[in-house]
A = this chain, B = another copy of it.
Amino acid sequence: MRNFYLTLVIVALSISTAQAESLRVSSPDGEITFALSFNPRSEPVYTVHYGSEAVVRESRLGLRFSHQAPLDQALEIIGNQRRQANGQWEQPWGERRWVTDRHNELLVQLQSTDGQARRIDLRVRVFDDGLGFRYEVPEQAAYGQVNILDEITEFHLPGESTAWWIPGRRYNRYEYLYREGKLTEVETAHTPFTVRTPAGTYLSLHEAALVDYAAYVLDQRRDNVLQTNLTPWSDGVRVRTRTPFKSPWRTIQISPDAVGLANSDLILNLNEPNRLGDVSWVEPGKYVGIWWSLHRATETWGSGPRHGATTGNTLRYMDFAARHGFDGVLVEGWNIGWDGDWFHNGSLFRFTEPYPDFDIEAVAAHARKRGVRLVGHHETSGDVSNYESQMSASFDLYRRMGVRQVKTGYVADGGDIKRRGENGHWRHEWHDGQFMVNHYLRNVQEAARHQISINTHEPIKDTGLRRTYPNWIAREGARGQEYNAWGDPPNPPEHVPLLAFTRMLSGPMDFTPGIFDLQFEREGEQRVIESTLARQLALYVVIYSPIQMAADFPEHYEARPDAFKFITDVPADWEQSIALAGEPGDFVAFARQARGGGDWYIGAVTDEQKRELNLPLDFLEEGVSYTAEIYRDGPDAHFREQPYDIVIEQRVVSRGDSMALTLAPGGGAAVRLVPLSD
């Protein structure tokens, strides 16, 4: 009889709000207002208004514990503090050099009404592009060691909203196709979780600064009411900690249009500044490597006649990289462990033992000679105990070999990350639980001690920790290019315009673009990558990552020097980035300015629909003319029929002009804008 009684309650609650004590804090521009009050059961609740629109209706807050009284009810406000911030900070690398942090802060101090002086604080920061709030539980009697059993943060969103999401599916990983649907169709969802309200406002729910806590998935508990579901430890406890502690920030990005979400710096602003000091050893750049051949199954990770990671093969890639100005060469399958059934069987992996046909010393010497670097690889297959026992030694080896970046992998089904428990028995953890949240960061911190940067695959979601640990240089965390080699189905054309407004809101993604051979046979099966050639170039601008791979085989690039030129030109580090236009799942266009240089780049992609874009170039410098090197879909281009139909042309443009681009079905466009020196 659920719905019926629910109605009663909602009525009761909304009556109450008027009466209850209420504290408010608004954004500097006054558009966004967060209000805290209490429902009739003296449970703390909050609302968020954007202008006159209630984008979050009355929603509950609080924590529940295994041994202590819950901190989600019988509370009252005993004090509050306010702060304002307005400043800028510099990124060592990133989508923009300077980030503006302008917000109003409210700290609400709550205490139990039962006389036991139980305390919990709520810190709220409201920016012009959204807000974040977090729980801060002060040190207090009876709350030393605590097990958090549940966090009941709710997000009561407007009915009839449209959502874009991937399922949270019992905390499994993020490699799903994104869905578009009515908010009420959502059962569970990972974040970033993006919605458009009936009023046309765009929201994205996520979290920032996830440290020593469990990540959450969103559960739809009642129609339009999403609740944080913290990923548990294998024994069911959600978080083990001790007071004083802080939760991660619960974030809500708010914008009148979709591109506003993509231009928001909210997540970074809610993270702590760089803790690593001089990070000049963190090197953005482009790389090639022994990777796509493994997914196309022309070479193997394991040893044998088709082994990919051989000395000779690696030297060939290094020479290619040096010839074309790439910084690194990734080699997967170089170390003992890949033979046999290694899935969920990561104890096989030896992270300091190369296969006999991979002479790591010779490879490293050749790299030094050619001025490139070996990019390291650690696949754990989810056996974290095995990896941690070798982690320090494996980074020592790589550092000696001049390696500056390591790609890690955690290929395992949800709940099958393995560790040895206290009693020596296996424990099966989730990628998103507190144990793994801490492991991923331990891995990044240990790497930092060796001046190595980490590119995590099958990662924990990005919550902006790259600001605090700039050597966490990229991660996967979505369906990447490899799904185009063997995925069923491959990534559809709408996938990238969906990523841009969901996964990409959290941070850089190692998508590995740049496939030129778009239709091929794999183990007897005909594969079609649902992309035109021009689109593969556009991805270097559309999908932000400080490390960009040119994923295809050297011979495929050398067969298309005209198109390849864009990949060798485009940088991976930026002075500025602007999301110009787009809608989730339809299309998206970005402009980015090279870090330190005057060159601008434009990238645009569409879904399976042909699309005409007309992009105003008002970001260009006043009074400067630019040569536009345009790589666009040809008149007959189509992601299935004619992927290779590309037009490469030049024009002179300047500020005030517009760039008209025609994107073919499954297509895209890439543009380089070079200032004309006069």
B458 in contact with A1 (CB, 8 Å): yes
Question: Closest CB-CB distance, A407 to chain B, in whole Å?
Answer: 12
Contacting residue for A5 out of B170, B229, B343, B487, CB 8 A:
B343
Residues of B within 8 A of A415 (CB): 150
Q: Does A417 belong to the interface (CB within 8 Å)?
A: no
Contacts of A2 in B (CB 8 A): 173, 175, 411, 413
Contact between chains at A414 and B221 (CB < 8 Å) = yes
Residues of B within 8 A of A150 (CB): 234, 415, 428
CB distance from A435 to the nearest CB of B (A): 14
Question: Counting CB contacts under 8 A, is A188 at the interface?
Answer: yes
CB-CB < 8 A to A411: which residues of B? 1-2, 5
Chain B residues positioned under 8 Å from A428 (CB to CB): 64, 150
- Residue A345 contacts which of B1, B41, B235 (CB distance < 8 angstroms)? B41
Instruction: Provide the bound-state CA to CA distance between A555 and B480, in Å.
Output: 66
Chain B residue with Cβ nearest A12: B341
Contact: B221 with A170, CB < 8 Å? yes
Judged by a CB distance under 8 angstroms, whether A494 is at the interface is no
Residues of B within 8 A of A232 (CB): 236
Are B221 and A4 interface neighbours, CB within 8 A? no
B235 touches A457 (CB 8 A): no
Within 8 A of B (CB), among A232-265: 232-238
**Stretch touching chain B among A67-75, A393-401, A500-508, A663-671:** A67-75
Contacts of A68 in B (CB 8 A): 425
Q: Assess whether A149 is in contact with B4, with CB atoms less than 8 Å apart.
A: no
Q: How far is the CB of A296 from chain B (nearest CB, A)?
A: 11
A170 interface neighbour in B64, B229, B413, B482, Cβ under 8 Å: B229
* Contact assessment for B3 and A486 in the assembled complex, using a CB-CB cutoff below 8 Å: yes
- B423 touching A222, Cβ below 8 Å: no
Asked whether any CB of chain B lies closer than 8 Å to the CB of A281, the reply is no
Q: Are B175 and A488 in contact (CB under 8 A)?
A: no
Q: Once the chains are docked, how many angstroms separate the CA of A172 from the CA of B222?
A: 10
Residues of B within 8 A of A457 (CB): 1
Which residues on the B side are within 8 Å of A64 (C-beta)? 234, 428
The CA of A226 and the CA of B666, in the complex, are separated in Å by 34
A312 contacts B by Cβ under 8 Å: no
Taking CB atoms, residues of chain B closer than 8 Å to A222 are: 413
Whether A308 is near chain B, meaning CB under 8 Å from some CB there, is no
Q: List B contacts of A167 (CB < 8 A).
A: 187
Q: A220: CB under 8 A from chain B?
A: yes
A219 and B70 contact, Cβ closer than 8 Å, known pairs A236-B238, A341-B9: no
Q: Least Cβ distance of A308 to chain B in Å?
A: 15
Assembly CA distance A411 to B66 (angstroms): 24
Residue A280 interfacial (CB < 8 Å): no
CA distance A187 to B176 in the complex (A): 12
Residue A52 interfacial (CB < 8 Å): no
Q: Is the CB of A236 within 8 A of B149?
A: yes
Indicate whether A520 reaches chain B with its CB closer than 8 angstroms: no
Shortest C-beta distance, A447 to chain B (Å), equals 21
Q: Mark A80-118, 1 if CB is under 8 A from B, else 0.
A: 000000000000000000000000000000000000000
Please indicate the chain B residues that have their CB under 8 angstroms from the CB of A426 in the complex. 69-70
Q: How far is the CB of A301 from chain B (nearest CB, A)?
A: 10
Q: For the complex, is A7 an interface residue (Cβ under 8 Å from B)?
A: yes
Q: From residue 175 to 226 of chain A, which have CB atoms closer than 8 A to chain B? A: 175, 187-188, 219-222
Q: Are B341 and A40 in contact (CB under 8 A)?
A: yes
Contact residues in B for A67 (Cβ distance below 8 Å): 423
Q: How would residues 133 to 169 of chain A score, 1 for a CB under 8 Å from any chain B CB and 0 otherwise?
A: 0000000000000010110000000000000000101
Which chain B residues border A660 with CB–CB below 8 Å? none
Q: Which residue of B lies closest to A234 (CB)?
A: B149
B residues near A4, Cβ cutoff 8 Å: 295, 482, 485-487
Nearest Cβ in chain B — how far from A485, in angstroms?
Answer: 8
In the complex, what distance in Å separates the CA atom of A483 from the CA atom of B3? 8
Contact with B along A1-36 (1 / 0, CB 8 A): 111111111001000000000000000000000000
Residues of B within 8 A of A413 (CB): 2, 221-222
Distance between Cα atoms of A460 and B150 in the complex (Å): 22
Nearest chain B residue, comparing its CB with the CB of A457: B1
A67 to B426, CA, bound (A): 10
Chain A 278-319 per-residue mask, 1 if CB under 8 angstroms from chain B, else 0: 000000000000000001000000000000000000000000
Indicate with 1 or 0, residue by residue over A401-444, a CB within 8 angstroms of chain B CB atoms.
Answer: 00000000101011100000001011010000000000000000
- CA separation between A345 and B425, bound complex, in Å? 43
Q: Which residues of B contact A295 (CB under 8 A)?
A: 4
Q: Give A414's nearest chain B residue, CB to CB.
A: B221
Query: Are A169 and B220 in contact, with the CB atoms below 8 A?
Result: yes
* Closest beta carbon of chain B to A264's beta carbon, Å: 29
The A322-367 residues at the B interface (CB cut-off 8 A) are: 341, 343-345
- For A558-601 the 0/1 string (1 means CB < 8 A from B) is 00000000000000000000000000000000000000000000
CA distance A480 to B4 in the complex (A): 12
Complex Cα distance A229/B4, Å? Answer: 29
Given B147, B149, B229, B235, which contacts A66 in the complex, CB threshold below 8 Å?
B235
Task: Give chain B nearest CB distance to A504 CB in angstroms.
Answer: 19
Query: Which residue from chain B places its CB closest to the CB of A11 in the assembled complex?
Result: B341
List, in ascending order, chain B residues with CB within 8 A of A170's CB.
188, 219, 221, 229
Report the 9 A-B pairs with minimum CB-CB distance, sorted nearest first.
A236-B236, A170-B219, A69-B425, A187-B187, A5-B343, A12-B341, A9-B343, A4-B486, A2-B175
A-B contact pairs, 24 of them (CB 8 A): A1-B409, A1-B458, A1-B480, A2-B175, A3-B487, A4-B482, A4-B485, A4-B486, A4-B487, A8-B343, A41-B341, A68-B425, A147-B235, A149-B235, A149-B236, A169-B219, A169-B221, A170-B229, A172-B221, A188-B188, A221-B413, A222-B413, A235-B237, A236-B238
Q: A9-B343, A66-B235, A70-B426 are in contact. List 18 more A-B contacts (CB 8 A).
A: A1-B175, A2-B411, A3-B486, A3-B488, A4-B485, A5-B411, A12-B341, A41-B341, A41-B345, A64-B428, A150-B428, A167-B187, A170-B221, A187-B188, A188-B188, A235-B236, A236-B237, A236-B238
